[in-house]
């Protein structure tokens, strides 16, 4: 009886359902193997080649709304990362100054944001992403952007 079971098991050609089942198992196994790799990529700060400091994205934006509205967008941006388990990066606003009649004053029309330690990859964009990017778009326009290596003491 065991001989007939073994010969039956190995003597037939794979059926379409067997191939589909094998493919599904392969895809699930691959997903389980790759999930920690993807999660790790999201939980690691981006490091620039030759940079022994902190990677940062620096943006200069022209304000079309109020600074309070812009700060609300920055807060929502930060919250989006925190809600997805990314806790090592920061978004900061920095005032820009200008000369006005031989006096240095805050330029109320511009602001700088510094995004330190951005992740290697971002989590998938979703409704909350769309919401905070719309908040930015409603009150500002990015006029300049650079990726820089900041000193560690920054």
Backbone angles phi, psi at 116, to 5 degrees: -90, 145
Q: Per residue in 54-63, pLDDT tens?
A: 999 999 999 9
SS3 of residue 148 by DSSP: strand
Average pLDDT on 99-113 reads 95
Place of tokens 């978004």: 91
pLDDT of residue 21: 52
Mean pLDDT of 90-109: 95
Per the DSSP assignment, residues forming a β-bridge with 104 are 99
Burial class (CB in 10 A: 0-12, 13-18, 19+), 35: exposed
CA atoms within 13 A on the CB side of 80: 22
Sequence spans of domains, the chain: 54-150
Residue 80 pLDDT > 90, yes or no? yes
Look at residue 22 and give its three-state secondary structure.
helix
The fold for domain 54-150 equals Alpha-Beta Plaits (3.30.70)
Distance CA 78, CA 89 (A): 8
The rounded distance, in Å, linking the Cα atoms of 39 and 47 is: 17
Residues in the chain: 154
Q: Measuring CA to CA, which residue among 93, 94, 80, 90 is closest to residue 124?
A: 80
Q: What is the pTM of this model?
A: 0.68
What gap in Å lies between CA 148 and CA 144, rounded to an integer? 13
In terms of phi and psi (left: phi > 0; alpha: psi -120 to 50; beta: otherwise), the region of 87 is alpha
Q: Give the Cα separation of 125 and 116 in Å (integer).
A: 20
What distance in Å separates the CA atoms of residue 110 and residue 62, rounded to the nearest whole number?
A: 4
Q: What does the pLDDT look like over 65-75, one tens digit per residue?
A: 999 999 999 99
């Amino acid at each position: 009886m065991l001989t007939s079971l073994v010969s039956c098991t190995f003597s037939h050609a794979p059926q379409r359902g067997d191939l589909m089942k094998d493919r599904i198992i392969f895809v699930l196994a691959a997903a389980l193997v790759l999930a920690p790799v993807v999660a790790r990529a999201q939980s690691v700060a981006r490091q620039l080649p030759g940079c022994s400091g902190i990677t940062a994205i620096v943006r200069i934006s022209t304000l079309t709304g109020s600074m309070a509205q812009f700060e609300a967008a920055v807060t929502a941006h930060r919250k989006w990362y925190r809600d997805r388990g990314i806790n090592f990066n920061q978004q900061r606003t920095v005032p820009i100054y200008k000369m006005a009649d031989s006096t240095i004053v805050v330029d109320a029309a511009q602001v700088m944001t510094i995004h330190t330690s951005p992740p290697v990859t971002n989590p998938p964009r979703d409704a909350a992403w769309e919401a905070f990017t719309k908040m930015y778009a409603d009150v500002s326009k990015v006029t300049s952007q650079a990726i820089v290596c900041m000193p560690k003491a920054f």
